[in-house]
Amino acid sequence: MADGRGHPQPGDLIEIDRKVYQHWVLYVGDGYVIHVTDDEGAPSFLGSSSSVSAAMAKVKKQLLKEVAGNHKWRVNNKYDRFCTPRPVEEIIRRAERWVDMEVPYGLLTNNCEHFVTMLRYKVGVSQQVLKALTVAAGALLLLLL
């Protein structure tokens, strides 16, 4: 595994560092994760030109080492401070139901982080989208001044 931090447990959220974004997956055990991808298996957040323009993405179950590749990853259940996770068995059961299904995809409202947080907490959240929108709003404000 590439620079993994922590020992993932079933139901954990894993954040994988990419060049300009983080790809989020849900650990389901035995080295496997479930995540939102494009048709070729690339992470659906600027992973390929088709994932940016497509309105649909696929849910896949793959080995964490294949999804992470040479990128650093870490267990990151950061929303546990604010939200109560579902029971682990329920998280895994719900995640497994999505495998091989197509799901709506949108950078701002239905990305990989939204998907895995919805499975773990019942609500989809993406802090990286909030950060990007804050930076964009700040840049716009500077242009207007």
Question: In the β-sheet with 102-104, what is the strand arrangement from edge to edge?
Answer: 4-5, 73-75, 13-17, 22-29, 32-37, 56-63, 102-104
Looking at 7, 35, 83, 112, which residue is catalytic?
112
Cβ neighbors of 72 (< 8 A, separation 6 or more) are 2, 3, 4, 5, 16, 17
Whether 112 sits among the annotated catalytic residues: the reply is yes
Count Cβ atoms within 10 A of the Cβ of residue 72 and give its class: 0-12 exposed, 13-18 middle, 19 or more buried. middle
Whether 83 sits among the annotated catalytic residues: the reply is no
Spatial separation of the C-alpha atoms in residues 141 and 17, rounded to whole Å: 29
Looking at 7, 23, 35, 83, which residue is catalytic?
23
The catalytic residues are 23, 112
